[in-house]
Chain A
């Protein structure tokens, strides 16, 4: 019996395990095209003023005010924000607002992931800390963000740390982090507790310190738990930024832009959707970032079923 026979010729090799990158890249335009087809298809056949089923207004309206043509939305990007004024185009405004919110979401994501990991580490290390802190973490997520946003602004207004004044935009980042840290801390805590007893015994037999055990075993064991947690955290960071922009009145971001364009909705319906597209793009960039982190973390690992 040779070793080659044991390992088998069809043993998977790292690069060949994932779907072809070309095929994956093609999925994005295909999905977009499908969406455009469904949107325009419904617009063609759906009732202009909606409809009712058993007295319930369930069928959406398909008129130009509720569902503008995709082409109109795209055209709207190229025209100035205010009709007649020779100012920046909508595209420039939406890009600037999206970029502003993206930076806040990234900051919130990084803060949230850092805080989440740190909390999970402390909870994994000290039983007492876990029993004391975990219930509060769960409760913290039941507080509505809308209620919290004004409070952070008014508290923050009284802070003057290290010579810096607490700015409004910091509130948005903090609130974004407040949403993002939760899945990370819960996922990481489960991950840090996931190594098998025999693996823990092995490290104990080496007389490894807790920190060595954390670096060599607990953290790498947590990676499969962190990947879905990071996805959740990224989308929550975006939600956190957009919602807190609206509720604290931060005017430079995409959240506020959606609201202000919505107010022009009756006369200029396509404009509302340009801001929505900006928000979608923001979500996609964050999702892409997390997919990159995911690929980095799970390189050299066997592919799990359904992953």
Chain B
């Protein structure tokens, strides 16, 4: 059996250890994500979902527990570029055209120019932007920029994709369109995805499992199996199963807040 994409056992993260500003950002987080899975992290602001993602990415070091990414230490996984990352802001470099933006991680890896260009074209086809290779980022709409960011994250063909509210800044129509695109891309590349979001319908629509988190201290309260199947499309959004799962996640979030309405969660 291949190694789990993410294997976290009792991971904790404390900021400002030993000072008056000490914060328990993550407490006793245990989570195993299998290759090919799509897992969303959802919870109110301050529940540590973005922190957890950064711990997976080795941008933050856990203060306790053990963590392995693709069967390696997080640091080794980062050095090997075993994962790609996408943020809420597409974060494309203004001075590079679309194609050059996608080539960035490959340049860092020291690929030669011909190989980079070929891969960049392949990625542009994947995100359906082949006609925009020579455009500059500021000539693209927000949704298109985010697609370029996803292409960049996947350019080195990493087995794992870490996404921090990547569609948070998009309008609702573009957002649903992008969700469908992302599922297609993941199916085509069999990439494992960890997806941080504020939106319940987004988490339910995209995920195999939804991890519900709660704040103070940041921890996992419930993990919900969604299982809407591989044939998800726009009709799925109107199915009663879909609404059932949305209700389940919402109730889990309310429970996480001890009956107080969950803050910072979008119901749309």
Contact = CB atoms under 8 A, between A and B. Distances in A.
B91 A198 contact: yes
A260 interface: no
Contacts, number: 76
B144 A7 contact: yes
B3 interface: no
Contacts of A223: 95
Contacts of A300: 95, 97, 136
Contacts of B95: 220, 223, 300-301
Given A202-B85, A205-B57, A212 B97 contact: no
Contacts of A6: 140-141, 143-144
B85 A205 contact: yes
Contacts of A8: 141
What is the predominant secondary structure among interface residues of chain A facing chain B? helix
A7 B91 contact: no
- Interface size class for chain A? 20 to 34
Contacts of B97: 300
Interface centre among B57, B78, B95, B140 (most CB of A within 10 A): B95
A285 to B, nearest CB: 28
A217 B78 contact: no
Interface string A95-115: 000000000000000000000
Contacts of B94: 301-302
Interface in A1-34: 1, 3, 6-8, 11-14
Interface in B113-156: 128-129, 131-132, 135-136, 138-141, 143-144
B242 interface: no
Interface string B95-108: 10100000011011
A302 B81 contact: no
Contacts of A302: 94, 136, 138
B205 interface: no
Nearest to B149: A202
A206 B139 CA distance: 26
A301 B57 CA distance: 31
A13 B83 CA distance: 34
Interface centre among A1, A202, A223, A302 (most CB of B within 10 A): A202
Contact of B89 (A11, A12, A198, A203): A198
Interface pairs A-B: 5 shortest CB-CB? A6-B141, A302-B138, A206-B108, A198-B87, A220-B95
Interface of A: 1, 3, 6-8, 11-14, 196, 198-199, 201-208, 212, 216-217, 220, 223, 300-302
Interface of B: 54, 57-59, 78-79, 81, 83-85, 87-89, 91, 93-95, 97, 104-105, 107-109, 128-129, 131-132, 135-136, 138-141, 143-144, 173, 177
16 contacts: A1-B173, A3-B144, A6-B140, A196-B89, A202-B85, A202-B87, A202-B91, A205-B78, A205-B84, A205-B85, A206-B104, A206-B105, A207-B78, A220-B93, A223-B95, A301-B94
